[in-house]
A and B are shown apart, each in its own frame.
Chain A
Amino acid sequence: MLALLVVALAQTTLLPRLSGVAPNLMLLLAVCHGLVSGTAPAARWAFYGGLALDLCAMSLLGSHSLALLAGVVVATWPLERFRRGNWLVPIAGVALGGLAYHTVYALLTALFVAGFEPEVYALFAALPDILIVLTPALPLYMALRWDQERTRRSVPVDVY
């Protein structure tokens, strides 16, 4: 939980903005964690990480949690059947997850905060954000996989 708070702090303050868009580190972490470890652990990361983001960014509490949950679910469930070694898995996962995240977040913003133009949001917020997080998606996915395999025993867990 504390680590997620640190990530939220870094995302809202430290990370440089590229064309006015800060890299969505929380989304990237949650989706890659889901692709590596499964939906349930990633859902917890998404929930707590979203709350931390809302506190740091002064946004509506729970909005980022809901959006990140949507992103994690859309990224992990369709890709569960694919092999983890396939390098397209993290790329597709982050793209799908980013799309779902922004769709839900935009809807929540329009419902609870203020209206906006979907085309403008898609062109100037969603698309740049997804493109930015796609770049480190594969390296991060591989790092998380390596970390998980390092901490697991050599015997695969699904060996009877």
Chain B
Amino acid sequence: MIRDRSYRPMHQAPRRSLLLVIALGLLALIIMVADQAGMLGPLRAQADTLLSPALSALKRTADRVGSPGGPLGDDQALQAELAALREENSALKARLIQAEALAFENARLREQVRIEQAHPWRLLGADVAAITPDAGRRLALLAVGAEQGVRPGMAVIAREGSSPPALIGVVAEAGPRSASVLLITDYSSTLSAQVYRNAGVARGVVQGQWQHGSRLLLDSIDRDSAIAVGDTVVTAGLTAQFAGDLPLAAIPPDVPIGTIEALHNTGRGQSADVRPFVDPDRVRYAWVILDGNE
């Protein structure tokens, strides 16, 4: 008998098939309603306990197989991500340093504005690049020079803590982009100074005393001047007043220098030990008074 491959499927009793389908359908519906009502909870829990291990194991296998390249692909992806994160970290660190520098500069500029608003000065901010390490001469090197308008004889001020902006030195030499500052504590630094007291003013000369083991000495004070310990010493600006073409003429009057610590009677006059408001040796940032005119 030749097999007829194109024969039709076995003719099943249609009623029997129909009854079976209806019965199974009803059974499925009953199971569904029972599960919705929560009656099959224990059965599901049991089934879950039996099937969970197999499901978890198969899921893990599928995850491992599913990703292209498998573990190798994961390692490469992780390494790439690590490299990218390192680069980002490095860039962020650089930006942080930049931000910190900008914040510091911002603070300095704000300080400069405050000083300029309180005084009739035009300032130029500068980093103190170096301070002479030996005691031979007290000099500081500023990172600004003639190109920025610095000239010999200009006053250099700074602030420390809660002190007022006070004189720390005078520009001795000005190169194109740097300037050396003779600190007021140097013995060769001599400046006219004055002390306001009782509606009067006592004038003298402030000279550095570092090489003599001290700081500042206010000398040549009239013996009748009623100055006292604690009085503020400021610049007198006499060079500007009497000899306007000398370098020191650039020092404006009334720039704070320090306070009187002790008084001495020298017979013909008085002298006073002056404590500077700002220790020149600790200054890291200063301002050059470019123009002290009101």
**Interchain nearest-CB distance for A102 vs B (Å):** 16
**Which residues of chain A from 132 to 160 have any CB-CB distance to chain B below 8 Å in the complex?**
149, 154-159
A69 touches B10 (CB 8 A): no
Q: Which residues on the B side are within 8 Å of A4 (C-beta)? A: none
- Judge whether A3 is part of the interface by a CB distance below 8 angstroms: no
Query: From A156, which residue of chain B is reached at the shortest CB distance?
Result: B7
Q: Which residues on the A side are within 8 Å of B25 (C-beta)? A: 66, 69
Q: Size of chain B's interface in residues, with CB distance under 8 A?
A: 38
In the assembled complex, the Cα of A35 lies from the Cα of B61 at a distance in Å of: 33
> Interface size class for chain A?
35 or more
Query: From A72, which residue of chain B is reached at the shortest CB distance?
Result: B21
- Judge whether B35 is part of the interface by a CB distance below 8 angstroms: yes
Chain A residues engaging chain B, CB cutoff 8 angstroms = 9-10, 12-16, 35-40, 43-44, 46-47, 50-51, 55-56, 58, 60-63, 65-66, 69, 72-73, 80-81, 83-85, 108, 112, 149, 154-159
Other than the known A84-B8, A85-B5, A158-B10, what 9 A-B pairs have Cβ atoms closer than 8 Å? A9-B51, A14-B61, A55-B48, A60-B32, A61-B31, A61-B32, A69-B24, A84-B7, A154-B3
CB<8 Å pairs between A and B, sample of 29: A9-B51, A9-B54, A37-B10, A38-B10, A38-B17, A39-B12, A39-B17, A43-B17, A43-B20, A44-B24, A50-B28, A56-B51, A60-B35, A61-B40, A62-B29, A62-B30, A65-B28, A66-B25, A72-B21, A81-B8, A83-B8, A84-B8, A85-B6, A154-B1, A154-B3, A156-B1, A156-B7, A157-B10, A158-B7
